[in-house]
Structure 1
Amino acid sequence: MLATIGLLSTTFGVSVASALIPVISVEVFAIGVVLNGTDVPWWLLAAVIAAGQIGGKLLHFYAARGAIKLPGLFLSKDGSEKQPGRWRRWLEKFRTNCQRRPLWTAVVMLLSAALSVPPYAAVAVIAGWAKVSLSMFLITGFVGRFVRFGALAIAPAVIATWI
């Protein structure tokens, strides 16, 4: 029992860390846990990883909204208003689309969370900037991440039954 709690706590910590630091791979960690032969059910492992991932991505989401003050390294040096460039115009158009078409927004966020296409790290930032509702971000992100890591957790067992 204590070993299971320790494993789940470590899994949660690695999940949060991987959401914040791109070079940490929670996928590799999860595969290692599953191949090591754990007694933790696949759905519990997937839920813990999904919760950790969403917890980490919430920092990106809130930073993009301006709710978290970023260090000076990430801010404009002179603070002056710049002319909107192509990237800024695209982001403004994306923000408008998110507000006008919430179903489209939910589908894009769900697919990104599950498949990482487009990359979920970028979508988390853009969703915060575009003022996507917190509930939509949490629900689509958790469901998508649960599907992603649930599939990853059961993959070795499925492959073993085929061989």
Structure 2
Amino acid sequence: MLTVIGLLSTAFGVSVASALLPLISVELFAIGLVLNGPEIPWWLLAVVIATGQIGGKLLHFYAARGAIRLPKFFRRKNTGEKGGRWREWLERFRVNCQQRPVWTGAVLLVSATASLPPFAAVAVIAGWAKVPLSTFVITGFIGRFVRFGALAIAPGVIVAWL
């Protein structure tokens, strides 16, 4: 039988893995842990999962910034073309991020909380757009904490409500 520390360590590992590989659902893991595991304070579970998620997303963030060199098969070949509409949209987004830091923080916070737009994509775009690390980490952590805190208390709320 796993102890609370063991379960929290596993939750951290699953949250990092799910941040790197979107096929892994930390949400399902967290719900299963809350329903079947020992009494773990909701806020502690939310802190552990949010920390793991941000840690994993930082790899995407730094890779998009160019601070982490990806293996050759992950890198795009430079064809010398200026790009199309997508490239223009990304350039406008980068300029918006630099000129409107409150807007940038709001987009990051909403994405981290609701995953709309998907936080994995936003983490990559934020790294590419040179969003300040502190903005990414603080807003991302707060959003992820709210998301997983709500997820951790939801089963108890539903049971108490019924």
TM-score class, shorter: over 0.9
Q: CA deviation at 1:22?
A: 0.7
1:58-97 equivalences in 2 (<5 Å): 58-77=58-77, 79-97=78-96
Q: CA deviation at 1:4?
A: 1.1
Q: Which runs of 4+ in 1 moved over 6 A?
A: none
Q: CA deviation at 1:80?
A: 3.4
Match of 1:128 in 2: 127
Name the count of aligned residue pairs.
Answer: 161
TM-score (norm 1): 0.96
Task: State how far apart, in whole Å, the 2-side matches of 1:95 and 1:38 are.
Answer: 45
Match of 1:108 in 2: 107
Q: CA deviation at 1:75?
A: 1.7
Task: State how far apart, in whole Å, the 2-side matches of 1:146 and 1:38 are.
Answer: 20
State the Cα deviation string for residues 5-64 of structure 1 (Å, max 9, x = none).
111110000000000001000000000000004221000000000000000000000000
Task: State how far apart, in whole Å, the 2-side matches of 1:72 and 1:41 are.
Answer: 43
Task: State how far apart, in whole Å, the 2-side matches of 1:154 and 1:81 are.
Answer: 51
Task: State how far apart, in whole Å, the 2-side matches of 1:75 and 1:37 are.
Answer: 42
Match of 2:118 in 1: 119
Match of 1:14 in 2: 14
Match of 2:47 in 1: 47
Task: State how far apart, in whole Å, the 1-side matches of 2:132 and 2:82 are.
Answer: 28
Match of 1:145 in 2: 144
Match of 1:56 in 2: 56
TM-score (norm 2): 0.97
Cα-Cα RMSD? 1.0
Structure 2 residue runs without a partner (length 5+): none
